[in-house]
Chain A
């Protein structure tokens, strides 16, 4: 008994450490619902058959799947460490022979089996409902990830460092996007240097309630706010000598103003005004001076022409490159501003003074007229 207690303590400590090392806001931090009190069938009963290596079964589709369980793999998983029983996930097993399962293919079985996760992880399940994977799965695309595709099945575990494991997890299904990301300014920093300041996939797309432009019309419209979370953060940007005015200057420009208004009053609006990613690239965004960057001076015209096919050589210069106009940078705008900075107060101030003078004179005249009228009467 004492030994058991001790081992439980050890496991507890291990889990605590794992939680400490796992990332802020990571997927692992979902509260567990009260789990089943009494697993009906002991794990050993299952393992009598399923412990045999190489055990397979053939599905109606003709696919063969393994039905062996690696006892050690499960024991070291987060479920194994916490002593969860087979039938807490395999909820339809109530004896042998097993009940018939309404699936034809291996993928259908995976999707079917993943329904169990919601019993203990209702928070994550609820979040998933709004997520792109579930939306597409319900639309009939069964390949869209289920819990076990990211978290593992018998080897399930909480997220473990390094953070580059996140893009590597997404890579399993989104390898082409991963290949672009890993060479981008963000991906190269995370995967190559282990830099903690750059976004991984989930920073922009979320985790369970995962979203992208294909699952939500609002995503493109809101995406500048995602970029702004880091790029308007002075403490973070200071380290890399990146201007935090990128967001403000975008918003005050014609494109950004439109997008911001749409965001606020018609969030599902599809707009032909660009957001950050339309110019800078999506997963492949590069530093602005990288020869491959879409916003690199030599490439800018081509980028503009994506939406303005008739744009000519001068046109890209109409974009101020996120700079605030100053005497050195864009003096024309500086002087226009200065002109009105003087003309508006002088004109309007003069008008106000003149109007006030006129008004006080008229009021005074009226009062004295009334007085003289009183005297007369």
Chain B
């Protein structure tokens, strides 16, 4: 049927508008529903794929801005078409839409032989258009409250914000379901309506879908009587009015996006308490005063060296403990030495293990340098008993 006539249905401007809105809607729907159903594994998968929930929100917000811009454009396009061009407004709902809807039901039930005759927009298309208008208003207002909760709660009670979230979320479910059922069935399943791609509709499809419009076109009464003078006049009024309105609306969009900085980017620490604050530790008791060594009267065992050994070494090296086999509490045993032989070599302090060990340091019961000097002197003078 390539020879069949086709009728213009959508201008390029209509089509650009439709595709931007579709892109915005699909993006908003996807990124929004995965937030509503954030616990679902599929939602988490998508969120992961998109780069996390913060990114998802950024995409959602960007798509919202796209939709807002499309709406501003739509208002301009509609104003131009209906005010400047005086194209008849066929999108307004009327009683015929109700009777047509009922007529379709009866026809589909087989109670009527002829289906209702639709004009440029079927009742189903009008339903969808006005549902989209309603949805966009609801989503825009509630979305504003969610995006700008501080500004919202300055004007309205705080409870409006969770209510807006609930409405935003439920309206989304309604909108997405409606698109899936109504739009997909009517435009893609019932018949593949390509007019949004090509801008045209075949005569056969027109006859089925829009017979009244087809009749008007054939009769040549679908367009208003051309009125170039009036159009020019109206355009001179329309353009400044729209530019001001668009500027106000764009300012609104800017306020929507950048109106407030809701929260700090980083949460202050939940607590700033000092972590390590030990209880005052039990102080190390000052060492018991060591008895002052008996003064060395002469450098012999009995003259004081024996007493030095007894007090400083006798704790371990005594007759019963004999640590290392060594008993330093009596002259005889001190000179005998321990397991590894004598510890005192009379006359040769440098080779006496007791000096070597003590000078190496860090021996439990470490002698002071003064004490070691006394021992050295004692050994070099022959390590005498008396």
Query: Contact residues of A with B, CB < 8 Å?
Result: 48-49, 52, 54-58, 64-67, 96-97, 100, 143, 171-177, 180, 213-214, 220, 251, 253-254, 257-258, 260-262, 264-266, 269-275, 277-278, 281-284, 306-312, 314-320, 325, 330, 332-333, 336-337, 340, 343-344, 347-348, 351-352, 354-355, 357-362
B156 A314 Cβ-Cβ under 8 A = yes
Given contacts A310-B150, A330-B159, A355-B182, contact A173 B278 (CB under 8 A): yes
Given contacts A172-B279, A312-B150, A360-B108, contact A272 B53 (CB under 8 A): no
Measured in the bound complex, the distance between the Cα atoms of B155 and A303 in whole Å is: 21
Q: How far is the CA of A309 from the CA of B178 in the complex (A)?
A: 40
B265 → A minimal CB distance (Å): 6
From the candidates B149, B190, B274, name the one contacting A318 in the complex (CB within 8 A). B149
**Binary interface encoding of chain B residues 148-169 relative to chain A, with 1 for a CB under 8 A from any of its CBs, else 0:** 0110011011111111011100
Specify which chain B residues have a CB less than 8 angstroms from the CB of A251 in the assembled complex: 39
Q: Does the CB pair B264–A307 fall under 8 Å?
A: yes
Q: How far is the CB of B364 from chain A (nearest CB, A)?
A: 6
Decide: A317 and B157 in contact? CB cutoff 8 A: yes
| Residue from B270, B274, B362 within 8 A of A213 (CB atoms) | B270
Q: Is the CB of B154 within 8 A of A344?
A: no
The reply to whether A348 and B178 form a contact with Cβ atoms under 8 Å apart is yes
Instruction: Please give, as numbers and ranges, the residues of chain A lying within 8 Å of B48 by CB-CB distance.
Output: 265
B264 touches A309 (CB 8 A): yes
Among B140-199, those with CB < 8 Å from A are 146, 149-150, 153-154, 156-163, 165-167, 170-171, 173-174, 177-178, 181-182, 185, 190
The distance in angstroms between the C-alpha atoms of A175 and B153, with both chains bound, is: 42
Q: Of the candidates B47, B162, B190, B277, which one forms a contact with A176 in the assembled complex, judged by CB atoms under 8 Å apart? A: B277
> Which of A172, A317, A340 is B171 in contact with, Cβ under 8 Å?
A340
Shortest distance from the beta carbon of A80 to any chain B beta carbon, whole Å: 22
The verdict on B321 contacting chain A, using a C-beta distance below 8 Å, is: yes
Contact check, B159 vs A333: say whether CB atoms are below 8 A apart.
yes
Tell whether, in the assembled complex, residue A311 and residue B273 are in contact, meaning their CB atoms are under 8 Å apart: no
Which of A214, A284, A308, A314 is close to B275, meaning CB atoms less than 8 Å apart? Answer: A214
Closest 5 CB pairs of A and B: A317-B158, A318-B161, A340-B170, A318-B158, A357-B108
Q: Are B170 and A336 in contact (CB under 8 A)?
A: yes
CA distance A208 to B262 in the complex (A): 40
B52 adjacent to A266 (CB under 8 Å): yes
Report the minimal beta-carbon distance from B50 to chain A, rounded to whole angstroms: 10
Q: Counting CB contacts under 8 A, is B363 at the interface? A: yes
Bound CA span A64–B364, Å: 12
Bound form: Cα–Cα A318–B271 in Å? 24
CB distance from B371 to the nearest CB of A (A): 15
A46 to chain B, nearest CB (A): 11
| Complex: chain A residue closest to B184, CB-CB | A355
Could you say which of A284, A311, A333 contacts B163, with CB atoms under 8 Å apart? A333
Residues of B within 8 A of A283 (CB): 271, 273
* A277 pairs with B270, CB closer than 8 A: yes
In angstroms, Cα B221 to Cα A197, docked, is 83
Tell me how far the C-beta of B318 lies from the nearest C-beta in chain A, rounded to whole angstroms. 10
Residue of A nearest to B107 (CB): A361
Q: A49-B323, A344-B174, A354-B104 are in contact. List 10 more A-B contacts (CB 8 A).
A: A55-B364, A175-B278, A175-B279, A214-B275, A310-B261, A312-B150, A312-B154, A319-B158, A330-B163, A343-B174
The answer to whether B297 has its CB under 8 Å from any CB of chain A is: no
Give A332 to B178 CA distance when docked, in angstroms. 25
8 contacts between A and B (CB under 8 A): A48-B316, A56-B287, A261-B52, A264-B44, A272-B264, A308-B263, A318-B162, A343-B174
